[in-house]
C-alpha cells in the first residue's frame, strides 16, 4: 500500500535591504497555487531553491510576516547565493 502524495508547496520571500532588516514571506501556496508561484518566478527569471524542510517551516508563517530568527541563517545563505547568481547573469 502506498502513502498518499503530499501536495506541492511553495513559499516566496522578499527582502529589500534598504527597507527592512529581515526577509518576509511575500506569498505562499499549495497544489495549483504553488505551481502558479513557481511559474511566475520562472517567467521573471527569479531563481528557485528547493528545500522541503525550509518550506514546511515558512509555510506556517503568514504573508508579510518576518522569517523567524531560527531560520534566518539558512535564508541568508540562500539570498547570498541568489545575489551571486543575479550578479553573474548581469555580468554575462
Q: pLDDT (tens digit, 0 to 9) for every residue of the chain, 92 residues total?
A: 555 677 799 999 998 888 888 889 999 999 999 999 999 999 998 888 888 989 999 999 999 999 988 888 888 888 888 788 878 877 75
Does residue 67 lie within any of the structural domains? yes
The answer to whether residue 3 sits within a structural domain is no
Determine, yes or no, domain membership for 36.
yes
pTM of the model: 0.79
Domain for residue 87, yes or no? Answer: yes
Instruction: With respect to residue 76, please indicate whether it lies within any of the assigned structural domains.
Output: yes
Give pLDDT, residue 4: 62
Q: Examine residue 2 and state whether it is found in any structural domain, yes or no.
A: no
Stretch (H or E) spanning 28: strand 24-30
Total domains present in the chain = 1
pLDDT at 2: 59
Determine the Cα–Cα distance for residues 71 and 54; give it in Å rounded to an integer.
8
Q: What is the CATH number of the domain that holds 70?
A: 3.40.1690.10
Residue 64 lies in a domain: yes
In this prediction, residue 45 carries a pLDDT of 86
* Per-position b or e across 60-71, b if 16+ CB within 10 A of its CB: ebeeeeebeeee
Closest by Cα among 13, 4, 8 to 35: 8
What are the beta bridge partners of residue 12?
A: 27
Question: Would you say residue 13 lies in a domain?
Answer: yes
Domain that holds residue 22: 9-91
Amino acid at each position: 500500500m502506498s502513502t498518499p502524495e503530499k501536495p506541492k508547496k511553495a513559499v516566496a520571500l522578499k527582502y529589500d535591504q534598504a527597507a527592512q532588516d529581515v526577509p518576509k514571506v511575500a506569498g505562499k501556496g499549495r497544489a495549483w497555487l504553488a505551481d502558479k508561484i513557481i511559474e511566475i518566478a520562472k517567467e521573471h527569471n527569479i531563481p528557485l531553491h528547493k528545500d522541503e524542510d525550509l518550506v514546511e517551516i515558512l509555510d506556517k508563517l503568514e504573508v508579510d510576516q518576518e522569517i523567524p530568527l531560527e531560520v534566518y541563517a539558512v535564508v541568508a545563505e540562500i539570498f547570498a547565493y541568489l545575489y551571486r547568481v543575479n550578479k553573474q547573469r548581469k555580468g554575462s
